[in-house]
Structure 1
Amino acid sequence: MIWGVTHGQKPEVRAKVGGVVEMACRLPLPYTGASVPLHVVEWVRQGFDIPVLIKFGVYAPRVHPNYEGRVSLVRNTVLRVKGLLIEDQGLYECRILLLDKTTDETRNGTWTLLSVTAPPIFSKTPPPVMEALVGNPLSLACVAHGNPPPTITWAKDGTLIGGDKVEVLSGTLSLRAVDREAGGQYECLASNAEGNVTHVTKLKVKGPPVIVIPPKDTSLNMTQDAQLQCQAVADPPNMTYVWQREGENVYHIEALKSRVKIMVDGTLLITHITPDDSGNYTCMPTNGLLTPPTASANLTVTHPAQALLMPPQTYLPTGLRGLVSCPVRAQPPLLRVDWTKDGQPLDLAMYPGWTLTTEGSVFMATANDDATGIYTCTPYNSYGTMGQSGPTTVILQDPPSLSVCPRTEYRQEVGRMLVIPCQTTGDPAPSITWSKVRTLQQTPQQMTVLY
């Protein structure tokens, strides 16, 4: 006969992980005295197919493999469990079979609830050190077990985490897109009533360089040395700096490559600067990751006004307006231009209709024989002048004229060829262009110009 030991309401026994617990079980009355009949004690656990412990008389008990070395009977029927595990939590029942009874009477016993409390223990944590690439998503998984179930919170550099960029769900911290500010020390804290435990992960963010000191617009006098700063930080830090002027690598510019040097800190050095060095310079640090950043600045080289290359000949149309230009580069801006004609200073008052433009060019309302000659110009700004230009010889040419003119009107049948003559004279030979003025909506026709 199997007896279920009843204790009224379902009892509960509490103990801590690693501790010892005893679950009581008494022989049924009237077998509680000194004379105990022959019996079998069986302890079962809900959900287990075989008993936790079963003992018959003086024979050694048989123990479930999960409890080997951890369970025993004390005071004949009490189950003692040592080295408690959180997995031991559950419902247990004591059953006693009295062997001197011949009936098959069976009664259900009362289940004892064993609650095993435990401080949190991590079962999954991120590595102590992690690396992430700028722009990529990131997840830090932190899983802990304990009883009561622990609560998990995250902190970064000592401050609790929150905000739109970060999501914490079921202990996992997720970042939609890693940025430079995401780097730092992350702490996962698991806590319950029995205690708490922490795990620290250091996050290193890798990505393209970040320019911390960009170049600044700089103005220097000619022949000075120019230094354009550009400093960046990066992880990995193996950076190289590339400098460009107007989009071209400075080492590929013939007039620059022998006078430039890129310093270790990214500074661009240009020695003995010339007016040709003026322009927009761009710094681009790179460490091979993603798209490198850029920063630009303008270098302005101040110098006396400089006359550029003059054409050997300047052709003017006889009887029409003419212009003799002085190609100039000036920084600060141009103040004036002095001219010579045939070796003598040019006095514009001697030539009616001649004036000086704001750019320093000589304008002639009507080009005639007075215009012919050899001209030079000397430009000036507040720094002075770099000297006189080379000479240009003004030569008069007859403007183009029509020797054969088209008539004002032509009529031709549809589908037939129409020839409209036009011939010109001039030195050098003029080029001819045609244009069509449409007075009505017309369909374009194929036309050929014959020279």
Structure 2
Amino acid sequence: MGAPLLWLLAAVLLCARAASGTGNNIWTTVDVSGHRTLLTCKLKEAISGPIEGHRWLKGGKVLKEDKSDSLITEYEVVSDDKSGEYQCIFLPELAGRADVQVKGPPKIIINKKSEYGNEGDSIILMCRSSSYPSIEQWKWYKENEMESNVILVNDTEGRMTIISTPEKTELHINSADIKEDPGKYICNGTNSEGSGTAVITLKVRSRLAALWPFLGIVAEVLILVIIIFIYEKRRRTDDVGEDEDGGAAPLKSSSVLNEKSSGSIRQRNSN
């Protein structure tokens, strides 16, 4: 194998390694100063050509992007949820990519502070976290104002089930009970840097709640029908009264004419 071919093969291997995302061609630093956290990636050398820009991501979401040709890119974390795994990418992506880990206690995220469900339905409460290190243990509690909070576990009857991964936890409530299940639920996540919690308020509605809009429409239609019926009945009564009054007048005129005719006849007879 000739020397030119060996050099070509070596160049291809270097480019492939840079594209693999190992970050061996990139220096990364995390500078924490008070409330300020600055992430830096520095490309040792541009192997695949000139740099066309940079991109920062966390959990697949683009945080920042530019078109600078610099071998250094920085990102200042301004979110309260600072801990997690970030990615810096030198564009085009063949130029280099590296992971930057920021350690910290977990920040628990919920979709909504309040969840609603109907009696008898299956309800799922979910908490998640993208913190670094990953969550090692999840726990669920139900708030009890009179006593200490009740820790929740998988129910032997299967009515309440907990499913957890390092990224999220789900509390499944099967056949929700309108008396027992409403209240505040607390999910707690713990990693090596600390723990975090979030509270979800669950409200369970009666089975008839779904029928209330339909019953309201039916009631409105019935009221409208009754109003129309009363109006039509009164209108017909008024029309009948007017017809009776109008029929009496001609009769009266006819009697007067008859009396006049009779008087004229009697007068002629007398003559």
| Greater relative contact order structure (CA < 8 Å, 6+ sep) | 2
Q: TM-score, normalised by structure 2?
A: 0.38
Which is richer in strand?
A: 1
Larger radius of gyration: 1
